[in-house]
Amino acid sequence: MADTPARIVVTRRMPPAVEERLAASGLDVAFNEDDRLFTRADTIRALQEADGILLAVGDPLDGPLLDAEGRRRTQIIANFGVGVNHIDLDAARDRGVIVTNTPGVLTDATADTAMMLILQATRRASEMEMQLRRGEWGGFSPTAQLGMSVQGKTLGVIGMGRIGAATARRAVLGFGMRAIYFNRSAVGPWDLPAEARPSIEAVMEEADVVTLHAPGGGANRGLISAERIARMKPTAYLVNTARGDVIDETALVAALVAGRIAGAGLDVFAHEPEVPAELVALANVTLLPHIGSATLETRTAMGMLAADNLIAHFRGEPLPSRVV
């Protein structure tokens, strides 16, 4: 490392082991002890003062911001998370700013969350829990509170990358579902029965549960459009652990309010932390506050990988997971 240590700004509180590692790294690290969300002005200051920034999904970075009023010092942005749709990658590329992310380490946690939402949605878990908590449970009934069994049903995976495949694996091998998928490029072969379909439409039409695992932003904004939602069976469920903007949220709300699909399980929203009031009021949706990767083990691994990228960069070593 150079004589004067590189200065790093960490925009969010990190799991303890990650902060310890960074503190001992030889880098000059400024932590965010009270976890206060950075304003635009804070981000500009960080870009002017720091050689590297470790940030997360609530820290949007566009081209004008990256210019930092003409005084940017930052060479590398280490994103805490695999999704980088909050960062303008073209703007970073144009300006020679490196961007890294944290693939692989959150695959299982996010696939677990997708499976949890598949089960919560199809078994009406949120609705049932609310019923109980409100004191409205009248006791066992053979015919009330019925959901849909997932065994033998078809899971439709949109985006068969690491997390999509891990979700299919859970659903097929653990819960007896069959899996079909659409992926933009050819993928496989798989160590489980999973059949490709030629289009998103084909998956939407055939699946009993559609689960989304495509990255957000860019061309994927509104990928699950009103027209594509309309292809779903009226008995089908939609699950999203990817990014809120992958769905036309207004169209989804309309479909759910009109009862055109059976329900949804959502961990992500188009304008987080805002959640449309219509969704909050609906019984047939399960809503989670973007907790796909929220286990101590996973968040620690994510922070360690982000730290690895920063440390490698300032040591002049190859970066473990570079995006730009």
Tell me if 164 contacts ligand 8YV by CB under 6 A. Answer: no
Tell me if 80 contacts ligand 8YV by CB under 6 A. Answer: yes
Instruction: With contacts defined by CB under 6 A, name the span among 16-24, 79-87, 154-162, 245-253 that binds ligand 8YV.
Output: 79-87
Binding residue for ligand 8YV, selected from 52, 83, 159, 263, defined by CB under 6 A: 83
Instruction: With contacts defined by CB under 6 A, name the span among 19-27, 36-44, 80-88, 139-147 that binds ligand 8YV.
Output: 80-88
Tell me, yes or no, if 19 is annotated catalytic.
no
Structure tokens that stand for 104 in this block: 């692989």
Tell me if 107 contacts ligand 8YV by CB under 6 A. Answer: no
Tell me if 81 contacts ligand 8YV by CB under 6 A. Answer: yes
CB of 82 to ligand 8YV, least distance (A): 4
Residue by residue, DSSP assigns 130-187 as: HHHHTT------SSSS-----TTPEEEEES-SHHHHHHHHIIIIIH--EEEEE-SS--
Tell me if 292 contacts ligand 8YV by CB under 6 A. Answer: yes
DSSP H helical segments within the chain, as ranges? 16-23, 40-49, 63-67, 89-95, 107-122, 125-133, 162-169, 175, 200-206, 226-230, 249-257, 277-281, 296-315
Q: Which of 243, 249, 299, 313 is catalytic?
A: 243
Tell me if 56 contacts ligand 8YV by CB under 6 A. Answer: yes
Q: Which of 274, 220, 120 is nearest to 212 (CA)?
A: 220
Instruction: With contacts defined by CB under 6 A, name the span among 74-82, 139-147, 245-253, 310-318 that binds ligand 8YV.
Output: 74-82
Place of tokens 């036309």: 248
DSSP label at residue 276: -
Tell me, yes or no, if 271 is annotated catalytic.
no
Q: What are the residues binding ligand 8YV (CB under 6 A)?
A: 56-57, 80-83, 106, 110, 292-293
